[in-house]
Amino acid sequence: MNRKYADRFFQYFFRMVSLVSVLALGAILIFVFAQGLMPFVGATAPGIRLVVQNIGELAVNGRVYRNVPDSISLEEDARFISLRFPSGDAGEEVVDIEVNADERDARKRLVFARNPSAKVSYPEAYVVTLGWPGLMAGRDRKIHIILPEPPYSPVEFIGGMQWQPVRDKVFGVFPMIAGTVLASLGAIFLGVPVALLCALFMAEFLADRPAAFARGAIELLAGIPSVVYGFFGLMVIVPAVKNVFGIAAGNTLLSAVVVLALMILPTVITIAESSMRAVSLSLKEASLSLGASKMQTAWHITLFHAHSGVIAGIILGISRAVGETMAVILVAGNSPQLVFSPLESVRTLTATIAMEMGYASGRHSEMLFSIGVVLFIMILALNSLILRLRRGMDVV
Amino acid sequence: MKKRVFLDGLLYGIMALSLCGVIAVLGYILVYIFRQAAGSLSFGFIFRSAREGGILPMVVTTLYVVVVSIAISLPVGIGTAVFLTEYSGNSSLVRILRVAIETLAGIPSIIYGLFGLLMFCRFLGFGQSIIAGAFTLSIMILPVIIRTTEEALKSVPVSFREGSLSLGTTKSQTIFHVVLPSALGGIVTSAILAIGRVVGESAPVLLTVGLSRNIPRTVFESGRTLTIHLYYLTNEAVNPDDFGIAFATAGTLVMVVVAINTLTKILTRKFKNSQGDAS
Amino acid sequence: MNPNGQNAETRDGCAAKLDVCGLDLYYADFQALKNIDFRLARHEVAALIGPSGCGKSTFIRVLNRMNDLIPSCRVSGKVMLDGEDIYGAMDVTELRSRVGMVFQKPNPFAMSVFDNVAYGKRMRGLRDKRQLAEVVEVSLTKAALWDEVKDRLKKSALSLSGGQQQRLCIARSIAMQPEIILMDEPTSALDPIATGRIEELIGELKKDYSIIIVTHAMHQASRVSDRTAFFLLGELIEFGDTREVFTNPVDKRTEDYISGRFG
């Protein structure tokens, strides 16, 4: 009877295989959210980290360590740090540092004593560098003291106007959220009317063969990779915007809007057209028999009865525009600033992730995942809206 | 009355114009890219290494990514579609599964990139490599494959299944010997659509596969796909030649897309015809 | 009222091939079959007649458990094949290879003629090429199709005519060496000539198999069957010798239906 066992096996096999989608979605949610929420729940490290060279002796809270590595992570309760360098050409150097953990201002948290010749500098927020001029060039000594960054406030993240991830460690994404929303809405305002005109025309006025041709063209439009759209935008639309408005650079919100509008056309047209085609013929015939013209029937009956599908198409178009990355990077200019005019450079959430992930580290990298979370929440909200509309469509 | 005829005619004109406009834009994009690419696009260009101004490494990387991600995604996608059409009753698992697939289909690709970076590059330790990118993309194309395969399975007549079962075969035998072979055309179409998605995808590939310009020897190495090459050339173009190469790369990509579109069209038509014979 | 003890015997005293007793069938809340009692002897052809939707197709789909495919379907009562409850411990694939089925529309698989007939045996593990060829030839011969297709066994079954396809489906089911063949309006999609050939074939097949045939055409029932059952609204109204049922029905409703007053 091994046929029977084989049958049983495959039944479980197919069930297990189909779980992959559920597990994948779960993993995506857990991983992205866990990483993205990290900056808001904890500090970057439990205690101070030191990066030093040729250190002889380290004393923390009076306890002495020898043979310490170049990079040292201290305990959270480290109060008094004393570093001793071996005596060399410049004589023995001793640095005493007192940590004032309650001080909120990072620059005042450390109090230095007994380092007469050292220069204190602050190359980045939360990083202090002590340097001694060496006797020869290239022999100067340096200590980098990396302070733990406290948990970031979600309000400052969402509402913050500044994005200075490297130097100042300021992560305000409001300009990017505004950029994403403006670019998507702009694309919708520009693209949807054209898309609806096309869809209605294809569904109501075109014969089968031309309609099939138009549909083929629109499928091709949907298949063109987004990088190619971006490239085309950079080569054609950006210079056009620059020349028409006489501005210094054409990489603007307007260029992004035009490219995105082009990219959402196929999505909106396809969904709107199929829902228009689903409107029953008897409704249209009823309207025609009442003496309405074909055009009036199309606008009043077909468009009206297909409205939930049309809205679903528009929302799907918005979510495409919100999630679009590469095309926008190439044409939008990418300055993380709040825009007040369509002729200014703008940066979206997605562009920030794709451009900075390559070199980001530490909290900066985590913050890019936090941007991913913001994006994710926007998309999930749009998706649930579509699901609700679909359910409504099934009832009708 | 006259006013209405005029208005109807005007609206008709506007609608026709907008559709023609959209198609004209498509035509313009294609013609523009091919005309600019015409000078540098050749067989030699595709088969020369990057140092000699060709795109061979990118073609190889893209092929690697396509093959590996389809190899992962196709069995899983077909299995899921079989479960949904052949086995599922109305259980809660099916409802969860449907919502999961819908949601996966809606997630923007950059988020897949973030996930792939965390899960495959860092957590599983693949680093930026073809295998990490292929895993990431295989999840991304799963909804495409599931949906298209499901459609194909649904169009296999119930009478085929009944005929097979009435001969005393088991359900799995019926699926493997009658249902899946009959749905082959649709399954191939789903694979081709998925290949199109993978070839055109860029953001998650940038995050997970990386930028290396070498010809990858194994899937555990980093590489640069065609899309990323185009992005890199346009965004960080250093010498004037780069734009020529960029145009030729864009032309190559568009050719692939057109080929895939044509192929799916032909297959769908053929598949529909053979279905017509069966009923 | 408890015929279980006598189940194995018909009125004539010979063993019943199939014995259905007190069968009820529900689709969710709708009762499609009501308390059906039905017996079939060996080498007997029974015809099921009745208006559309009366439950005759549903009934024969009970007999090889094809209704299992419908999730909302519930069955109660006893169906005994050679004294063995088919809804009991019997394996459903075993049952289906013993009780074959021919469907309303010819449904050959999209494979070659040979593969269609060999399919069932292959799935049961028969791999030997010579044995398979023999099964195919015997089955096609029995289905009166061998002479027409012996030169194109490798051609797609979909290239055959409708009547040939239906005989192929009969051959496919014969290949399993079933004990009973169920036919669900096997000629409804065929032209009169093809129908005639199938009817002839049923007369031949009777020598080896028990047959239950659902039919819409009453003259077909009277031509091919030994016994006839009349179904109405899920009930088995009358079941007797075909000649009796058609010439001298017991029930008024049977008479009305046969004389064409409804249906």
**Taking residues C9-13, what's their average pLDDT?**
41
Q: Which of B166, B173, B182 sits opposite C110 (nearest CB)?
A: B182
- Considering only the beta carbons, identify the residue of B82, B106, B265 that sits closest to A14: B82
Please answer whether residues C49 and C254 qualify as being in contact, where contact means their C-beta atoms are separated by less than 8 angstroms.
no
8 A C-beta contact, residue A192 and residue B168: no
Is a pLDDT exceeding 90 seen at residue B28? Answer: yes
Nearest to B162 among C103, C111, C158 (CB): C103
The candidate with the shortest Cα–Cα distance to C172, out of C117, C135, C134, is C117
The answer to whether B222 and B130 have CB atoms below 8 angstroms apart is yes
Pick from A316-330, B260-274, C75-89: least confident:
B260-274
Q: Which residue of A has its CA nearest to B111?
A: A372
pLDDT at A73: 81
- Average pLDDT score, chain B: 89
pLDDT, position A117: 65
Q: What is the mean pLDDT of residues B219-239?
A: 87
Q: Which of A178, A191, A233, A156 is nearest to A347 (CA)?
A: A178
For residues C27 and C34, give the distance between their C-alpha atoms in angstroms, rounded to a whole number.
12
Whole-angstrom distance, CA of residue B111 vs CA of residue A117: 50
Which residues of chain A neighbour B36 with C-beta distances below 8 Å? 235
Q: How does A37-73 read in b/e, with b if 16+ C-beta sit within 10 Å?
A: ebbbeeebbebbbbebeebbebebeeeeeeeeeeebe
Q: Does domain B43-278 have CATH number 1.10.3720.10?
A: yes
The predicted model gives A301-308 an average pLDDT of 89
- Can you give the pLDDT at residue C3? 41
Weakest mean pLDDT among A57-61, A182-186, A224-228, A354-358: A57-61
Residue C175 structure tokens: 């290949």
Q: How far apart are CA A93 and CA A117, in angstroms?
A: 10
Distance from CA of A11 to the nearest CA of C (A): 15
Question: Quick check: C125 contacting A, CB < 8 Å?
Answer: yes
- What are φ and ψ of residue B227, in 5° steps? -65, -45
Average pLDDT, chain C: 87
Q: Is the pLDDT of residue A392 over 70?
A: no
Domain A171-395 is classified in which CATH homologous superfamily? Answer: MetI-like (1.10.3720.10)
- Give the tens place of pLDDT for each residue, C165-194: 999 999 999 999 999 999 999 988 888 888
What confidence score (pLDDT) does residue B273 get?
62
At A223 the pLDDT is 92
Mean pLDDT of B223-243: 85
**Cβ–Cβ pairs < 8 A, chains A and C:** 7
Which three-class secondary structure state does DSSP give residue A210? helix
Among chain A residues, the shortest Cα distance to C123 is held by A3
Given pLDDT bands bounded at 50, 70 and 90, which one contains residue A138? low
How is residue B205 written in tokens? Answer: 């590939």
> Quick check: B159 contacting C, CB < 8 Å?
yes
Query: Is A202 in Cβ contact with B7 (below 8 Å)?
Result: no
Q: Is B178 left (phi over 0), alpha (psi -120 to 50) or beta?
A: alpha
Which among A24, A228, A323 has CB closest to B108? A323
Place of tokens 């014979």: B277
pLDDT for residue A68: 75
Question: Chain B interface, mutation test: which of A14, A190, A350, most B Cβ atoms within 10 Å?
Answer: A14
ipTM score: 0.92
Q: Which residues contact C112 (CB under 8 A, 6 or more apart)?
A: C153, C154, C155, C156, C157
C166 touches chain B (CB under 8 A): no
For chain A, which chains pass the contact test of at least 3 CB pairs under 8 Å? B, C
Interior angle at CA C139, CA C135 and CA C144, nearest 5: 150
**Closest CA relative to residue B250, chosen from B64, B110, B40:** B40
pLDDT for position B277: 44
Upper half-sphere CA count for residue B170 (Cβ side, 13 Å): 18
Whether A1 shows a pLDDT value over 50: the answer reads yes
Q: Which domains does chain C have, with CATH numbers?
A: 43-63+91-258 (3.40.50.300)
> For residue A346, is pLDDT > 70?
yes
Residue boundaries of the structural domains of chain A: 49-149, 171-395
Kindly state whether B122 is in contact with chain C, defined as any CB-CB distance less than 8 angstroms.
no
- Highest mean pLDDT out of B136-150, C26-40, C107-121: B136-150
Q: Is the pLDDT of residue B272 over 50?
A: yes
Angle between helices B226-235 and B184-200 (to 10 degrees): 20
Q: Above 70 in pLDDT, residue C238?
A: yes
Interface of A with C (CB under 8 A): 1, 3-4
Structure tokens at A10: 């495959």
Judged by CB atoms closer than 8 Å, whether chains meet at C107 and B169 is answered as no
Could you say which residues from 130 to 169 on chain C have a Cβ atom under 8 Å away from some Cβ of chain A?
none
pTM: 0.87
Query: If you average pLDDT over residues C201-227, what whole number do you get?
Result: 90
In DSSP terms, B45 is beta-bridged to none
* CB proximity C91 to A under 8 Å: yes
Q: What is the CA radius of gyration of chain A?
A: 30
What pLDDT was estimated at residue A393? 61
Confidence (pLDDT) at C6: 41
More confident residue, A85 or A161: A161
Closest Cβ opposite residue B167 in set C111, C158, C172: C172
Dihedral over alpha carbons C130, C134, C140, C143 (to 10 degrees): -150
- Give A57's pLDDT tier (boundaries 50, 70, 90): confident
Decide if pLDDT at B230 tops 80: yes
DSSP state of A292: -
Of A61, A280, B181, A10, nearest to C119 by C-alpha is B181
- Range C86-109 average pLDDT: 89
The verdict on B94 touching C (C-beta cutoff 8 Å) is no
**B257: pLDDT confidence band, cut at 50, 70 and 90?**
very high
Other Cβ atoms within 10 Å of B220 Cβ, number:
12
Residues of C in contact with B161 (CB under 8 A): 69
Total Cβ atoms within 10 A of residue B236: 9
Q: Do C95 and B168 touch (CB under 8 A)?
A: yes
Q: Tens of pLDDT along C34-82?
A: 999 999 988 899 999 988 888 888 999 999 898 888 888 889 988 999 8
The answer to whether the CB atoms of B172 and A11 lie below 8 A apart is yes
Do residues B135 and B116 lie in contact, with contact meaning Cβ atoms separated by under 8 Å? yes
Per-residue pLDDT of A213-228, as tens digits, reads 999 999 999 999 999 9
* Strand A57-60, strand A163-164: pairing: unpaired
Distance CA A267, CA A348 (A): 21
- Which residue from B75, B83, B202 is facing A225, i.e. has the nearest CB? B202
Q: Cα(B67)–Cα(B133) distance, rounded to whole angstroms? A: 12
pLDDT value for A364: 92
> Residue C82 to residues A349, C16, C86, C227: CA-CA distances in angstroms?
73, 7, 10, 19
Say if C71 is an interface residue toward chain B (CB within 8 Å): yes
Give the pLDDT confidence of B185-227 residue by residue, as tens digits. Answer: 889 999 999 999 999 999 999 999 988 888 898 889 999 999 9
Closest-CA residue of chain B to A350: B110
Q: A179 and A348 in contact (C-beta within 8 Å)?
A: yes
Nearest-Cα distance to chain C for A289, in Å, is: 37
Residues 119-158 of C with CB under 8 A from B: 119-120, 123-124, 158
Cross-chain residue pair A22–B96, CB shorter than 8 Å:
yes
